[in-house]
Amino acid sequence: MRDLEIYIRDLKSLAVSEWLSNHLDQLELADGLEDTKAIKGVGQYLKTAVTVSLYPGAFGKRFTCVVLEGESLPWNTDLECARSAWRAMDTEVRCSPGDWKEGEPVEDDKWWRLDSRGEQLVVWN
């Protein structure tokens, strides 16, 4: 199973549903972003299931973490996914620069930041 993880700043309600609906064959996701710890949904891509999870309030409450998990996904890397989200929503999007996995040490505190200034590797804060 593969996963993609991005962070979207100041995410507007329904923006993720609108964006993903253009890339998945099917999507069921209620992303109202009310005061909740997690929003879960499911979709399909190339006839395989895709789990969609949103975690509002990540990194100082301004970001929403978006995680896509499945055997087949519309993008190959977090950066490709972040680029697509940025083009669709026109708000800052961040992602890890590499193939970091949960539990591994972070070698470099740098993250990709995509916004109106372009794509840059930055320290999160």
Q: What domains can you pick out in the chain, each with its CATH number?
A: 2-123 (3.30.310)
- pLDDT over 70 percentage in the chain: 88
Overall average pLDDT of the 83-105 stretch: 84
Measured CA to CA, the distance from residue 110 to residue 121 in angstroms comes to 6
**Residue 73, exposed/middle/buried by CB under 10 A (0-12, 13-18, 19+)?**
buried
Return the closest-CA partner of residue 74 out of 8, 22, 23: 23
Average pLDDT score, the chain: 89
Question: Helix (H, G, I), strand (E, B), or coil: what is residue 111?
Answer: strand
Overall average pLDDT of the 54-78 stretch: 93
pLDDT of amino acid 107: 54
Measured CA to CA, the distance from residue 96 to residue 80 in angstroms comes to 11
- Report pTM: 0.89
Q: How many CB atoms lie within 10 A of CB 102?
A: 6
Q: Which residue has the higher pLDDT, 32 or 91?
A: 91
Q: Which residue has the higher pLDDT, 97 or 71?
A: 71
pLDDT at 121 over 90: yes
Alpha carbon 10 to its chain's center: 13
Interior angle at CA 15, CA 5 and CA 116, nearest 5: 75
pLDDT of amino acid 61: 83
